[in-house]
Amino acid sequence: MDGWLTGDKCSPKKQRHTARRIYNRLVEEHGYTGSEPTVRRYVRFAKLALGIDIPCAFIPCDPEAGHEGEADWGTATAILVGEEIRLKFFCMRSKYSGKHFVRFYSCERQQAFFDAHIHAFSFFGGIFPVLIYDNLSTAVEKVLRGRDRIEQESFVKFKAYHSFEARFCNPDSGHEKGGVEGLVGFARRNYMVPVPEAATLEELNEKVLRQCVSYGNHKMAGRDRTVNELYEEEKGHLLSLPEAVFSNVQTSAGRADKYATVIVDKNRYSVPSRYAGFRVKALHYADRVEIFIGAKRVAQHERSYGNNKWILAPDHYLELIQQRPMAFNSARPIRQWRKSWPQALNKLLERFCSAQGETKGIKDFIAVLMFYRDYAAYEIEAAVELAIENNISASDGVRHLLAYTGGADTVIAPLASWPSLPPPDIAVYGQLGGVQ
Protein backbone atom coordinates (compact mmCIF):
# COMPACT_ATOMS: atom_id res chain seq x y z
CA MET A 1 0.00 0.00 0.00
CA ASP A 2 2.83 2.42 0.79
CA GLY A 3 4.28 1.75 -2.66
CA TRP A 4 1.00 2.58 -4.37
CA LEU A 5 0.59 5.75 -2.34
CA THR A 6 4.18 6.85 -2.96
CA GLY A 7 3.66 6.33 -6.69
CA ASP A 8 0.63 8.63 -6.49
CA LYS A 9 2.95 11.58 -5.89
CA CYS A 10 3.80 11.51 -9.60
CA SER A 11 0.21 10.99 -10.76
CA PRO A 12 -2.42 13.63 -11.53
CA LYS A 13 -4.46 14.57 -8.47
CA LYS A 14 -7.67 13.23 -9.94
CA GLN A 15 -6.08 9.87 -10.80
CA ARG A 16 -4.66 8.89 -7.42
CA HIS A 17 -5.63 5.94 -5.28
CA THR A 18 -8.59 6.29 -2.98
CA ALA A 19 -8.98 4.05 0.05
CA ARG A 20 -11.75 2.20 -1.80
CA ARG A 21 -9.49 1.60 -4.81
CA ILE A 22 -6.68 0.30 -2.59
CA TYR A 23 -9.09 -2.06 -0.84
CA ASN A 24 -10.37 -3.39 -4.18
CA ARG A 25 -6.82 -3.96 -5.46
CA LEU A 26 -5.86 -5.79 -2.27
CA VAL A 27 -8.86 -8.10 -2.71
CA GLU A 28 -8.39 -8.64 -6.46
CA GLU A 29 -4.60 -8.85 -6.63
CA HIS A 30 -3.59 -10.20 -3.21
CA GLY A 31 -6.61 -12.11 -1.91
CA TYR A 32 -7.09 -9.80 1.07
CA THR A 33 -9.86 -10.97 3.42
CA GLY A 34 -9.85 -8.17 6.00
CA SER A 35 -12.39 -5.37 6.31
CA GLU A 36 -12.53 -2.15 4.29
CA PRO A 37 -12.64 0.15 7.39
CA THR A 38 -9.27 -1.28 8.47
CA VAL A 39 -7.79 -0.34 5.09
CA ARG A 40 -9.36 3.12 5.25
CA ARG A 41 -7.79 3.84 8.67
CA TYR A 42 -4.37 2.75 7.49
CA VAL A 43 -4.59 4.79 4.26
CA ARG A 44 -5.60 7.91 6.18
CA PHE A 45 -2.55 7.76 8.46
CA ALA A 46 -0.22 6.62 5.67
CA LYS A 47 -1.13 9.62 3.51
CA LEU A 48 -0.35 11.97 6.40
CA ALA A 49 3.01 10.25 6.99
CA LEU A 50 3.91 10.38 3.28
CA GLY A 51 2.71 13.97 2.85
CA ILE A 52 0.03 13.05 0.30
CA ASP A 53 -3.28 14.91 0.05
CA ILE A 54 -2.75 16.64 3.39
CA PRO A 55 -5.86 18.63 4.34
CA CYS A 56 -5.35 22.36 3.89
CA ALA A 57 -6.28 25.04 6.38
CA PHE A 58 -8.04 28.13 5.05
CA ILE A 59 -8.08 31.71 6.28
CA PRO A 60 -11.49 33.22 7.11
CA CYS A 61 -11.94 36.29 4.91
CA ASP A 62 -14.26 39.28 4.85
CA PRO A 63 -14.29 40.48 1.21
CA GLU A 64 -14.54 44.18 0.53
CA ALA A 65 -17.99 45.30 -0.62
CA GLY A 66 -18.31 45.73 -4.38
CA HIS A 67 -14.65 45.04 -5.10
CA GLU A 68 -14.30 41.48 -6.40
CA GLY A 69 -16.36 39.07 -8.44
CA GLU A 70 -15.61 35.55 -9.64
CA ALA A 71 -16.47 33.89 -12.95
CA ASP A 72 -16.40 30.32 -14.20
CA TRP A 73 -18.05 27.82 -16.56
CA GLY A 74 -20.00 24.66 -15.81
CA THR A 75 -21.57 21.90 -17.91
CA ALA A 76 -25.08 20.47 -17.63
CA THR A 77 -27.70 18.55 -19.58
CA ALA A 78 -30.91 20.20 -20.78
CA ILE A 79 -33.77 19.27 -23.10
CA LEU A 80 -34.42 21.68 -25.98
CA VAL A 81 -37.32 20.97 -28.35
CA GLY A 82 -37.50 17.43 -26.97
CA GLU A 83 -33.81 16.68 -27.59
CA GLU A 84 -31.36 16.07 -24.75
CA ILE A 85 -28.17 18.10 -25.24
CA ARG A 86 -25.11 19.14 -23.27
CA LEU A 87 -24.83 22.86 -22.61
CA LYS A 88 -22.31 25.17 -20.99
CA PHE A 89 -23.43 27.61 -18.34
CA PHE A 90 -21.59 30.75 -17.27
CA CYS A 91 -21.53 31.84 -13.63
CA MET A 92 -20.56 35.17 -12.08
CA ARG A 93 -20.71 35.74 -8.33
CA SER A 94 -20.08 38.62 -5.96
CA LYS A 95 -17.54 37.66 -3.31
CA TYR A 96 -19.13 40.04 -0.80
CA SER A 97 -22.89 39.54 -1.10
CA GLY A 98 -23.02 36.15 -2.79
CA LYS A 99 -25.44 37.50 -5.42
CA HIS A 100 -24.98 35.46 -8.57
CA PHE A 101 -25.82 35.23 -12.25
CA VAL A 102 -26.13 32.09 -14.41
CA ARG A 103 -26.68 31.85 -18.16
CA PHE A 104 -26.65 28.95 -20.65
CA TYR A 105 -24.66 28.81 -23.90
CA SER A 106 -23.96 26.24 -26.57
CA CYS A 107 -20.20 26.62 -26.16
CA GLU A 108 -17.43 28.44 -24.29
CA ARG A 109 -16.11 30.41 -27.26
CA GLN A 110 -14.81 33.90 -26.67
CA GLN A 111 -17.86 35.56 -28.20
CA ALA A 112 -20.11 33.63 -25.80
CA PHE A 113 -17.68 34.51 -22.97
CA PHE A 114 -18.03 38.22 -23.74
CA ASP A 115 -21.80 37.98 -24.22
CA ALA A 116 -22.11 36.30 -20.82
CA HIS A 117 -20.19 39.15 -19.20
CA ILE A 118 -22.38 41.78 -20.87
CA HIS A 119 -25.56 40.08 -19.58
CA ALA A 120 -24.00 39.62 -16.13
CA PHE A 121 -22.97 43.28 -15.89
CA SER A 122 -26.52 44.28 -16.81
CA PHE A 123 -27.91 41.91 -14.15
CA PHE A 124 -25.66 43.34 -11.43
CA GLY A 125 -26.24 46.91 -12.58
CA GLY A 126 -22.51 47.58 -12.63
CA ILE A 127 -19.06 46.03 -13.02
CA PHE A 128 -16.82 44.53 -10.35
CA PRO A 129 -13.45 46.37 -10.37
CA VAL A 130 -11.68 42.99 -10.10
CA LEU A 131 -12.82 39.70 -11.66
CA ILE A 132 -11.15 36.41 -10.78
CA TYR A 133 -10.82 33.61 -13.35
CA ASP A 134 -9.23 30.28 -14.09
CA ASN A 135 -6.66 30.37 -16.87
CA LEU A 136 -9.33 30.28 -19.58
CA SER A 137 -8.05 30.06 -23.15
CA THR A 138 -10.61 32.71 -24.12
CA ALA A 139 -8.79 35.17 -21.85
CA VAL A 140 -5.24 33.83 -21.47
CA GLU A 141 -2.90 33.21 -24.38
CA LYS A 142 0.01 31.96 -22.25
CA VAL A 143 0.55 31.23 -18.54
CA LEU A 144 3.89 32.62 -17.32
CA ARG A 145 5.63 32.26 -13.98
CA GLY A 146 3.64 33.18 -10.89
CA ARG A 147 0.71 35.50 -11.55
CA ASP A 148 1.99 36.79 -14.88
CA ARG A 149 -0.09 36.05 -17.97
CA ILE A 150 -0.05 36.97 -21.64
CA GLU A 151 -3.70 37.77 -22.25
CA GLN A 152 -5.65 37.43 -25.47
CA GLU A 153 -5.60 40.76 -27.31
CA SER A 154 -9.38 40.82 -27.72
CA PHE A 155 -9.82 40.17 -23.98
CA VAL A 156 -7.47 43.07 -23.20
CA LYS A 157 -9.71 45.32 -25.32
CA PHE A 158 -12.83 43.98 -23.60
CA LYS A 159 -11.33 44.70 -20.17
CA ALA A 160 -10.25 48.18 -21.19
CA TYR A 161 -13.73 48.98 -22.52
CA HIS A 162 -15.29 48.03 -19.17
CA SER A 163 -12.38 49.29 -17.01
CA PHE A 164 -12.06 46.16 -14.85
CA GLU A 165 -8.96 44.23 -13.80
CA ALA A 166 -8.60 40.48 -14.35
CA ARG A 167 -6.86 38.26 -11.83
CA PHE A 168 -6.07 34.64 -12.68
CA CYS A 169 -5.76 31.72 -10.28
CA ASN A 170 -2.65 29.61 -10.04
CA PRO A 171 -2.96 26.37 -12.04
CA ASP A 172 -4.94 23.67 -10.19
CA SER A 173 -5.94 26.16 -7.49
CA GLY A 174 -9.70 26.35 -7.79
CA HIS A 175 -9.93 27.25 -4.09
CA GLU A 176 -8.67 30.73 -5.03
CA LYS A 177 -12.15 31.35 -6.44
CA GLY A 178 -13.98 28.89 -4.24
CA GLY A 179 -17.19 30.91 -4.18
CA VAL A 180 -17.92 30.51 -7.88
CA GLU A 181 -16.64 26.92 -7.85
CA GLY A 182 -19.33 26.26 -5.27
CA LEU A 183 -21.87 28.19 -7.34
CA VAL A 184 -21.30 25.89 -10.33
CA GLY A 185 -22.28 22.91 -8.20
CA PHE A 186 -25.11 24.77 -6.47
CA ALA A 187 -26.61 25.88 -9.79
CA ARG A 188 -26.39 22.38 -11.23
CA ARG A 189 -28.08 20.81 -8.18
CA ASN A 190 -30.74 23.47 -7.65
CA TYR A 191 -31.46 25.04 -11.05
CA MET A 192 -30.94 21.99 -13.23
CA VAL A 193 -32.65 19.24 -11.27
CA PRO A 194 -34.86 17.87 -12.70
CA VAL A 195 -33.27 18.27 -16.13
CA PRO A 196 -34.65 21.60 -17.42
CA GLU A 197 -36.79 21.64 -20.56
CA ALA A 198 -37.53 24.52 -22.92
CA ALA A 199 -38.41 25.27 -26.53
CA THR A 200 -35.44 27.58 -27.01
CA LEU A 201 -32.17 28.45 -25.33
CA GLU A 202 -33.52 31.92 -24.58
CA GLU A 203 -36.54 30.44 -22.79
CA LEU A 204 -34.17 28.30 -20.73
CA ASN A 205 -32.16 31.39 -19.81
CA GLU A 206 -35.29 33.25 -18.76
CA LYS A 207 -36.12 30.40 -16.36
CA VAL A 208 -32.68 30.35 -14.75
CA LEU A 209 -32.64 34.16 -14.54
CA ARG A 210 -35.84 34.08 -12.48
CA GLN A 211 -34.17 31.59 -10.14
CA CYS A 212 -31.12 33.85 -9.78
CA VAL A 213 -33.40 36.78 -8.91
CA SER A 214 -35.28 34.65 -6.38
CA TYR A 215 -31.99 33.64 -4.72
CA GLY A 216 -31.59 37.27 -3.65
CA ASN A 217 -34.08 36.62 -0.84
CA HIS A 218 -31.89 33.82 0.51
CA LYS A 219 -29.87 34.24 3.69
CA MET A 220 -26.53 32.41 3.53
CA ALA A 221 -25.16 30.48 6.49
CA GLY A 222 -23.37 32.73 8.96
CA ARG A 223 -25.00 35.90 7.58
CA ASP A 224 -27.65 37.94 9.37
CA ARG A 225 -28.86 39.68 6.19
CA THR A 226 -30.20 38.42 2.88
CA VAL A 227 -28.18 38.37 -0.33
CA ASN A 228 -30.15 41.33 -1.71
CA GLU A 229 -29.64 43.38 1.46
CA LEU A 230 -25.89 42.82 1.26
CA TYR A 231 -25.93 43.57 -2.45
CA GLU A 232 -27.68 46.91 -1.95
CA GLU A 233 -24.80 47.85 0.32
CA GLU A 234 -22.17 47.01 -2.30
CA LYS A 235 -23.99 48.17 -5.44
CA GLY A 236 -22.75 51.74 -5.09
CA HIS A 237 -19.13 50.53 -5.16
CA LEU A 238 -19.42 48.90 -8.59
CA LEU A 239 -18.04 50.54 -11.72
CA SER A 240 -20.65 52.19 -13.92
CA LEU A 241 -21.86 50.46 -17.06
CA PRO A 242 -20.58 52.01 -20.31
CA GLU A 243 -23.00 54.30 -22.13
CA ALA A 244 -22.92 52.06 -25.21
CA VAL A 245 -22.92 48.26 -25.01
CA PHE A 246 -19.69 46.62 -26.19
CA SER A 247 -20.00 45.60 -29.84
CA ASN A 248 -19.69 41.85 -29.53
CA VAL A 249 -20.38 41.10 -33.18
CA GLN A 250 -18.24 39.60 -35.93
CA THR A 251 -18.79 40.15 -39.64
CA SER A 252 -18.11 38.25 -42.83
CA ALA A 253 -18.85 38.82 -46.49
CA GLY A 254 -19.65 36.26 -49.14
CA ARG A 255 -22.13 35.14 -51.74
CA ALA A 256 -25.29 33.07 -51.43
CA ASP A 257 -24.65 29.80 -53.28
CA LYS A 258 -26.92 27.84 -55.61
CA TYR A 259 -28.66 26.28 -52.60
CA ALA A 260 -29.52 29.80 -51.31
CA THR A 261 -27.23 29.33 -48.32
CA VAL A 262 -24.41 31.40 -46.87
CA ILE A 263 -21.46 29.78 -45.09
CA VAL A 264 -20.80 31.26 -41.66
CA ASP A 265 -18.23 29.66 -39.38
CA LYS A 266 -18.35 26.26 -41.16
CA ASN A 267 -22.17 26.11 -41.15
CA ARG A 268 -24.73 26.99 -43.83
CA TYR A 269 -27.58 29.42 -43.23
CA SER A 270 -30.40 29.91 -45.72
CA VAL A 271 -31.65 33.08 -47.40
CA PRO A 272 -34.82 33.40 -49.52
CA SER A 273 -34.21 31.43 -52.73
CA ARG A 274 -34.61 34.53 -54.89
CA TYR A 275 -31.31 35.79 -53.46
CA ALA A 276 -29.22 32.83 -54.67
CA GLY A 277 -26.04 34.24 -56.21
CA PHE A 278 -26.29 37.63 -54.45
CA ARG A 279 -23.40 39.09 -52.48
CA VAL A 280 -24.22 39.23 -48.77
CA LYS A 281 -22.85 40.40 -45.44
CA ALA A 282 -23.34 38.30 -42.31
CA LEU A 283 -23.32 39.57 -38.74
CA HIS A 284 -22.40 36.87 -36.21
CA TYR A 285 -23.77 37.43 -32.71
CA ALA A 286 -23.29 35.00 -29.85
CA ASP A 287 -26.86 33.73 -30.20
CA ARG A 288 -27.86 34.49 -33.80
CA VAL A 289 -26.74 35.15 -37.36
CA GLU A 290 -28.21 38.01 -39.41
CA ILE A 291 -27.70 38.17 -43.18
CA PHE A 292 -27.92 41.40 -45.16
CA ILE A 293 -28.00 42.39 -48.81
CA GLY A 294 -26.99 46.02 -48.77
CA ALA A 295 -28.88 47.61 -45.88
CA LYS A 296 -31.74 45.08 -46.03
CA ARG A 297 -31.82 42.17 -43.60
CA VAL A 298 -33.00 39.16 -45.57
CA ALA A 299 -32.55 36.37 -43.00
CA GLN A 300 -32.03 35.74 -39.30
CA HIS A 301 -31.23 32.38 -37.70
CA GLU A 302 -30.37 31.01 -34.29
CA ARG A 303 -26.63 30.46 -34.36
CA SER A 304 -25.26 26.92 -34.53
CA TYR A 305 -21.88 26.04 -33.04
CA GLY A 306 -21.52 22.66 -34.71
CA ASN A 307 -19.73 21.98 -37.98
CA ASN A 308 -21.25 21.33 -41.40
CA LYS A 309 -24.79 22.03 -40.18
CA TRP A 310 -27.52 23.23 -42.56
CA ILE A 311 -29.73 25.77 -40.82
CA LEU A 312 -32.62 26.17 -43.25
CA ALA A 313 -35.80 28.22 -42.94
CA PRO A 314 -38.47 26.31 -44.92
CA ASP A 315 -40.17 29.58 -45.81
CA HIS A 316 -37.11 30.58 -47.85
CA TYR A 317 -37.75 27.74 -50.32
CA LEU A 318 -41.54 27.61 -50.69
CA GLU A 319 -41.77 29.50 -54.01
CA LEU A 320 -38.98 27.39 -55.48
CA ILE A 321 -40.57 24.11 -54.34
CA GLN A 322 -43.95 25.28 -55.63
CA GLN A 323 -42.35 25.61 -59.07
CA ARG A 324 -40.88 22.09 -58.72
CA PRO A 325 -43.51 20.18 -56.74
CA MET A 326 -42.03 16.74 -57.37
CA ALA A 327 -39.05 17.77 -55.21
CA PHE A 328 -41.37 18.37 -52.24
CA ASN A 329 -40.88 15.03 -50.48
CA SER A 330 -37.10 15.07 -50.76
CA ALA A 331 -36.51 18.79 -50.12
CA ARG A 332 -34.36 19.08 -47.02
CA PRO A 333 -36.14 22.18 -45.63
CA ILE A 334 -39.50 20.37 -45.85
CA ARG A 335 -38.14 17.12 -44.40
CA GLN A 336 -36.73 19.03 -41.42
CA TRP A 337 -39.99 20.92 -40.93
CA ARG A 338 -42.17 17.80 -41.16
CA LYS A 339 -40.47 16.36 -38.09
CA SER A 340 -42.16 18.99 -35.94
CA TRP A 341 -45.25 20.20 -37.75
CA PRO A 342 -48.72 19.01 -36.58
CA GLN A 343 -50.15 15.76 -37.92
CA ALA A 344 -53.13 17.70 -39.27
CA LEU A 345 -50.92 19.16 -42.01
CA ASN A 346 -50.06 15.66 -43.25
CA LYS A 347 -53.78 14.81 -43.37
CA LEU A 348 -54.49 18.01 -45.29
CA LEU A 349 -51.72 17.20 -47.78
CA GLU A 350 -53.18 13.75 -48.38
CA ARG A 351 -56.63 15.25 -48.98
CA PHE A 352 -55.29 17.86 -51.42
CA CYS A 353 -53.39 15.22 -53.41
CA SER A 354 -56.39 12.91 -53.44
CA ALA A 355 -58.75 15.64 -54.67
CA GLN A 356 -56.45 17.50 -57.08
CA GLY A 357 -53.80 14.98 -58.07
CA GLU A 358 -50.27 14.87 -56.66
CA THR A 359 -48.71 17.77 -58.57
CA LYS A 360 -51.56 20.26 -58.18
CA GLY A 361 -52.25 19.06 -54.65
CA ILE A 362 -48.67 19.72 -53.53
CA LYS A 363 -48.65 23.15 -55.16
CA ASP A 364 -51.89 24.08 -53.43
CA PHE A 365 -50.66 22.68 -50.12
CA ILE A 366 -47.56 24.89 -50.34
CA ALA A 367 -49.94 27.84 -50.63
CA VAL A 368 -51.26 26.81 -47.20
CA LEU A 369 -47.70 26.70 -45.82
CA MET A 370 -47.24 30.27 -47.04
CA PHE A 371 -50.03 31.36 -44.70
CA TYR A 372 -47.50 31.03 -41.86
CA ARG A 373 -46.07 34.33 -43.10
CA ASP A 374 -49.22 36.23 -42.16
CA TYR A 375 -50.90 34.22 -39.41
CA ALA A 376 -49.85 32.74 -36.08
CA ALA A 377 -49.15 29.01 -36.06
CA TYR A 378 -52.06 28.28 -33.72
CA GLU A 379 -54.48 30.10 -36.06
CA ILE A 380 -53.34 28.07 -39.06
CA GLU A 381 -53.46 24.79 -37.18
CA ALA A 382 -57.01 25.53 -35.96
CA ALA A 383 -58.08 26.41 -39.51
CA VAL A 384 -56.50 23.22 -40.88
CA GLU A 385 -58.31 21.09 -38.29
CA LEU A 386 -61.57 22.80 -39.24
CA ALA A 387 -60.85 22.31 -42.94
CA ILE A 388 -60.36 18.57 -42.40
CA GLU A 389 -63.62 18.32 -40.43
CA ASN A 390 -65.50 20.08 -43.25
CA ASN A 391 -63.89 18.12 -46.11
CA ILE A 392 -62.20 21.19 -47.57
CA SER A 393 -59.64 20.23 -50.21
CA ALA A 394 -58.26 23.54 -51.52
CA SER A 395 -56.14 26.35 -50.09
CA ASP A 396 -58.86 28.91 -50.84
CA GLY A 397 -61.08 27.18 -48.30
CA VAL A 398 -58.37 27.34 -45.64
CA ARG A 399 -57.81 31.02 -46.46
CA HIS A 400 -61.55 31.64 -46.04
CA LEU A 401 -61.51 29.94 -42.63
CA LEU A 402 -58.53 32.02 -41.54
CA ALA A 403 -60.24 35.22 -42.64
CA TYR A 404 -63.63 34.52 -41.07
CA THR A 405 -62.89 32.50 -37.93
CA GLY A 406 -60.50 34.90 -36.30
CA GLY A 407 -62.74 35.48 -33.28
CA ALA A 408 -65.44 37.99 -32.35
CA ASP A 409 -65.96 41.11 -34.43
CA THR A 410 -64.05 44.11 -33.24
CA VAL A 411 -66.29 46.69 -31.60
CA ILE A 412 -65.13 50.23 -32.19
CA ALA A 413 -66.06 52.52 -29.31
CA PRO A 414 -67.05 56.13 -30.07
CA LEU A 415 -64.31 58.70 -29.73
CA ALA A 416 -64.70 60.52 -26.44
CA SER A 417 -63.59 63.91 -27.75
CA TRP A 418 -65.47 63.73 -31.06
CA PRO A 419 -68.25 66.41 -31.27
CA SER A 420 -71.76 65.06 -30.82
CA LEU A 421 -74.35 66.61 -33.19
CA PRO A 422 -78.10 66.81 -32.50
CA PRO A 423 -80.28 64.58 -34.75
CA PRO A 424 -81.65 66.45 -37.80
CA ASP A 425 -85.32 67.55 -37.94
CA ILE A 426 -86.69 65.49 -40.84
CA ALA A 427 -90.19 67.01 -40.53
CA VAL A 428 -89.19 69.75 -42.99
CA TYR A 429 -89.03 67.13 -45.77
CA GLY A 430 -92.81 66.81 -45.49
CA GLN A 431 -93.16 70.32 -46.98
CA LEU A 432 -91.63 69.27 -50.28
CA GLY A 433 -94.12 69.24 -53.16
CA GLY A 434 -96.56 71.38 -51.24
CA VAL A 435 -97.28 68.72 -48.63
CA GLN A 436 -98.15 70.34 -45.30
Sketch the domain layout of the chain as residue ranges.
Answer: 2-50, 68-235, 250-311, 316-404
Which residue type does 311 have? Answer: I
Q: What is the dihedral of CA 331, 333, 335, 337, to 10 degrees?
A: -150
- SS3 category, 157: helix
CA–CA gap between residue 180 and residue 93 (Å, rounded):
6
Q: Please report how the helices 153-162 and 110-124 are oriented relative to each other, as an axis angle in degrees rounded to 10.
A: 10
Would you state the pLDDT for residue 424? 74
Would you state the pLDDT for residue 9? 78
CA–CA gap between residue 115 and residue 80 (Å, rounded):
21
Would you state the pLDDT for residue 176? 54
Q: Which residues pair with 282 in a beta bridge?
A: 252, 291
- SS3 category, 332: helix
Would you state the pLDDT for residue 408? 46
pTM of the full structure? 0.73
Which residue type does 433 have? Answer: G
- SS3 category, 77: strand
Q: Per-residue b/e over 238-264, b at no fewer than 16 CB within 10 Å?
A: beeeeeeeeebeeeeeeebeeebbbeb
Long-range CB contacts (< 8 A, 24+ apart) of 381-387? 381/342, 381/344, 381/345, 384/342, 384/344, 384/345, 384/348, 385/344, 387/348
User: pLDDT tens digit string along 304-347?
Assistant: 988 899 999 999 999 999 999 999 999 999 999 999 899 999 99
What share of the chain in percent tops pLDDT 70? Answer: 90
Instruction: Give φ, ψ of 133 to 5 degrees.
Output: -135, 165
Q: Are 193 and 211 in contact (CB under 8 A)?
A: no
Q: Which residue ranges in the chain fall short of pLDDT 50?
A: 407-408
Would you state the pLDDT for residue 420? 66
Pick the CATH number of 68-235 from 3.40.50.300, 3.40.50.10490, 3.30.420.10, 3.60.15.10: 3.30.420.10
CA–CA gap between residue 425 and residue 433 (Å, rounded):
18
Long-range CB contacts (< 8 A, 24+ apart) of 279-283? 279/253, 279/254, 279/255, 280/253, 280/254, 280/255, 280/256, 281/251, 281/252, 281/253, 282/251, 282/252, 282/253, 282/254, 283/249, 283/250, 283/251
Q: What is the dihedral of CA 375, 378, 384, 388, to 10 degrees?
A: -160
- Which residues in 256-343 belong to E strands, given as ranges? 261-264, 267-270, 279-284, 288-293, 296-302, 310-311
Residue 277: how many CB atoms within 10 A of its CB? 10
- How far is CA 259 from its chain centroid? 28
